[in-house]
Amino acid sequence: MEYLFYSLAAVALISGALVVFQTHPLRSALWLIVNFFAVAGLYLLAHAEFIAAIQIIVYAGAIMVLFLFVIMLLNLRQPEEELARPRLGLKIAGITVAVLSAVLIGMGLAKVVLKPVTELPVGLGNTESVARLLFTDYLLPFEVTSVLLLVAIVGSVVLAKAKLR
């Protein structure tokens, strides 16, 4: 179990680093799919089977296909243009800010005392328990989600339309 976690974590971290440091966005997108699959495996390890399936279907399926379509649609010819303008100082500053904020969050998290529950209730993480909670306690947020998706659909259609006036 631990070795499975370690190997999946290593895959997620390496593919995540490759997403950040690839020159062409197409390669970044492909490595991001690897990252999503590794994280889905970690969800499976944490008894979240439904979320793992949704992760693969929604993220690795729908969202990444959308990314790949847009990358192909834009037909980018000069992926090395970004490398021609290195701006090393800005990069070092960005990495420093990110790492320092991570240290800050980590110090905060390290102070949290966790008392994990040991006994497993029946059927945690399967679709039935998720659905029961989703359609009782979280019914209103679930319905608001549909409005959000409708707004996103209308917004993206309007934004990507040929003539804006």
Closest distance of CB 10 from other proteins, Å: 10
H helix runs in the chain, sequence order:
2-21, 25-45, 49-54, 64-74, 81-84, 88-110, 127-134, 139-160
Closest distance of CB 124 from other proteins, Å: 6
97 is a contact residue toward other proteins (CB under 8 A)? yes
157 is a contact residue toward other proteins (CB under 8 A)? yes
47 is a contact residue toward other proteins (CB under 8 A)? yes
Residues 112 to 131: which contact other proteins by CB under 8 A? 114, 116-117, 119-121, 124-125, 129-130
Q: Which positions ≥6 away from 4 have C-beta within 8 Å?
A: 41, 45
> Residue 14 CB: number of other CB atoms within 10 A?
14
Long-range contacts of 82-89 (CB under 8 A, 24+ apart): 82/23, 83/23
Single-letter code of the amino acid located at 32: L
Residues 7 to 26: which contact other proteins by CB under 8 A? 9, 12-13, 16-17, 19-20, 22, 25
60 is a contact residue toward other proteins (CB under 8 A)? no
Residues 67 to 96: which contact other proteins by CB under 8 A? 67, 70-71, 73-74, 76, 81-82, 85, 90-91, 93-95
Tokens read off for 13:
């971290």
> Out of 11, 28, 34, 56, which residue is the one contacting other proteins (CB under 8 A)?
28
